[in-house]
Amino acid sequence: MKVLIVKYSNQSVGYLRQDKSGRMSFQYDQQWITKGFAVSISLPLQEEIFPEEKCRPFFEGLLPEGIIRDEIARNLGISARSDFALLREIGGDCAGALSIGSSKEEFSKGSKVLLEGQILIEALSSLKGKPLLAGEKDVRLSIAGAQRKLPVIYENGEFFIPHGDLPTTFIIKPEIAGIEGSVDNELYCLALARKIKLPISDFDGLQLPELIKTDGDVAAVRRKYLLIKRYDRKKENGQIVRLHQEDLCQATGVSSENKYQKDGGPSFKDLFFIIRKHSSQPAWDVRNVIRIALFNYIIGNADAHGKNFSFLLKKDSVTLAPFYDLLSTEVYPNLSSKMAMKIGGKYNPEDIFRRHWHKFAEENSIGSKLIDKEIDYVSKMVWKWHERVARQLFWHEQLYPKIIHDIIKLIEKKLELLKRE
């Protein structure tokens, strides 16, 4: 039997075990049961062991997905199919407050390495072949998602990589290969969301050089990156501490392979159900989910699946986390325009009109007055700000990247569709 320790700061939360046949299980620590809290809505505090089918969605949900996961496993010489081995290798700094490792020593040390000048550029350039820098000595970073990114410590304009057990404080997201202008796109959508008063973490756009190899030569090009402040970290007495979070897939016990509703993943019904049952500010969270659902529809973000909604979990409260991963996907003809979650029985945004929003409200026990009010609010605010935000970010229409023109056009089309009964 192999064992990993699951820690919250310096306390043991529980033990992740793998038996001889490779099956994983989780059990809370006795002391944590008396003093702590459930680290997932899908893993209530109990003495009994959670078998693999119960605990896998939460723990697998801490790991990167798709080819990123495969590349990391290849670089580390472990099986891409083993959640346990991946958590052992990279589960030091995850989304939320938990840290996973194989021995007590792994948790005790902690230092940070300055990424300066050429070293920063090399680190960013190496994300292509070495995701999350996994394989570098003492680097144990994990973050969900199918895209390349780098969690870092960012202080006074300098970037650091933690070695050992130090929390990262920001996430750097580079351009997504094959999705032109993804950084400008996300920057614009986040800025627009903030203008309409949706809860969003602080963020910024960065321009940094990246090294590219061409025919044996190395050249440097300037690239755009998105820098996002982690809402699951905060400063306490001069020290950065981790706050706990889990995403909607983890909360509903669905593994990341099934994150889309059509594959059995969470729906808006599940999201509202969890808020009403667990949130300590249900009315506020319900209203913000209605707003983000409308906002995602208007900007054409079809990828708002169960791993793109999260909850902040504390001992005595559960609240919806700020929104993230806001990207207009519908403007790319090569991406599926099917929505990750149904709205009023429809997946295809072209088929969604005002009456489907009323059906969405009815299905989710939202009053028709409230949905009308929110449709009105979000439409008016997006209309008011969509051009202005573009100007604030890119100065002049003539300087807008092509993708921004496309998103603006799409927004205007959607605002028209929303008026149709």
Ligand X SMILES: Nc1ncnc2c1ncn2[C@@H]1O[C@H](COP(=O)(O)OP(=O)(O)O)[C@@H](O)[C@H]1O
| Active site residue ranges | 303
230 near ligand X (CB under 6 A) = yes
d(CA 371, CA 291): 9
Q: What is the nearest approach in angstroms of ligand X to the Cβ of residue 102?
A: 23
CB under 8 Å to 275, separation ≥6 — which residues?
282, 285, 286, 289, 320
144 near ligand X (CB under 6 A) = yes
Q: Which is nearer to ligand X, 27 or 147 (CB)?
A: 147
247 near ligand X (CB under 6 A) = yes
Binding window for ligand X (CB under 6 A); candidates: 69-77, 121-129, 140-148, 259-267:
140-148
Q: Which is nearer to ligand X, 52 or 247 (CB)?
A: 247
Taken in order 57, 3, 83, 138, the sign of the CA dihedral is positive
- Strands of the sheet with 24-28, listed across from one edge: 24-28, 11-18, 2-8, 98-101
The listed partner (ligand X, Mg ion, none) that binds 324, CB under 5 to 8 Å by sort, is ligand X
d(CA 229, CA 250): 22
Q: What is the nearest approach in angstroms of Mg ion to the Cβ of residue 247?
A: 9
* Residue the block writes with tokens 């948790």: 107
Q: Which is nearer to ligand X, 183 or 196 (CB)?
A: 183
186 near Mg ion (CB under 5 A) = no
Site for ligand X in 19-78 (CB under 6 A): none
Amino acid present at 247: D
In the list 6, 38, 72, 143, the residue contacting ligand X (rule: CB under 6 A) is 143
Phi first, then psi: what are they for 137, rounded to 5°? -55, 130
DSSP-assigned states of every residue in 188-207: HHHHHHHHTT--B--EEEEE
Q: Is the CB of residue 93 less than 8 Å from the CB of residue 139?
A: no
d(CA 419, CA 231): 35
Q: What is the nearest approach in angstroms of ligand X to the Cβ of residue 141?
A: 11
In the list 231, 260, 272, 295, the residue contacting ligand X (rule: CB under 6 A) is 231
DSSP-assigned states of every residue in 320-346: EPPB------TT-TTS--S-SS-BTTB
Q: Is the CB of residue 232 less than 8 Å from the CB of residue 95?
A: yes
151 near Mg ion (CB under 5 A) = no
Give the count of residues interacting with ligand X (CB under 6 A): 18
Q: What is the nearest approach in angstroms of Mg ion to the Cβ of residue 171?
A: 11
In the list 145, 181, 306, 344, the residue contacting ligand X (rule: CB under 6 A) is 145
147 near ligand X (CB under 6 A) = yes
Q: Which is nearer to ligand X, 73 or 141 (CB)?
A: 141
Q: Is the CB of residue 340 less than 8 Å from the CB of residue 66?
A: no
Q: Which is nearer to ligand X, 28 or 203 (CB)?
A: 203
Applying CB under 6 A, which residues contact ligand X?
95, 143-147, 171, 201, 228, 230-232, 247, 307-308, 310, 324-325
Give the binding site for Mg ion (CB under 5 A): 145, 308, 325
